Amino acid sequence: MEMTGVCSICGGYAKPVYTCSLCGAMVCNKCFNNDLGLCRRCAAQARKGF
Ligand SMILES: [Zn+2]
Ligand SMILES: [Zn+2]
């Protein structure tokens, strides 16, 4: 099964697609923070301590 789509952060081709557990955005592996399980945008927010 192939999961493909468009990254909602960089707009690039996303394969595989990662889903942010906070905002639910579909992002590519480059825009996904594996440590936090969040997209790059939410990871930046989380680092600031919300
Ligand atoms: Zn991306
Ligand atoms: Zn997010």
Q: How far is the CA of 45 from the centre of ligand 1 (A)?
A: 17
Q: What is the CA(40)–ligand 1 centre distance, in A?
A: 9
Enumerate residues with CB within 5 Å of ligand 1 (an ion): 7, 9-10, 28, 31
Task: Tell me the whole-structure pTM to 2 decimals.
Answer: 0.81
- 15: CA distance to ligand 1 center in Å? 10
Q: What is the pLDDT of residue 13?
A: 93
Nearest to 30 by CA among 4, 12, 45: 12
Q: How far apart are CA 20 and CA 29, in angstroms?
A: 11
User: What does the pLDDT look like over 5-16, one tens digit per residue?
Assistant: 899 999 999 888
Q: Residues 1-50: pLDDT tens digits? A: 455 789 999 999 988 899 999 999 999 999 999 999 999 999 999 888 65
User: Could you give the angle at the alpha carbon of 22 between the alpha carbons of 18 and 15, nearest 5°?
Assistant: 10
pLDDT at 43: 96
**47 CA to centre of ligand 2 in angstroms:** 13
Q: How far apart are CA 6 and CA 8, in angstroms?
A: 6
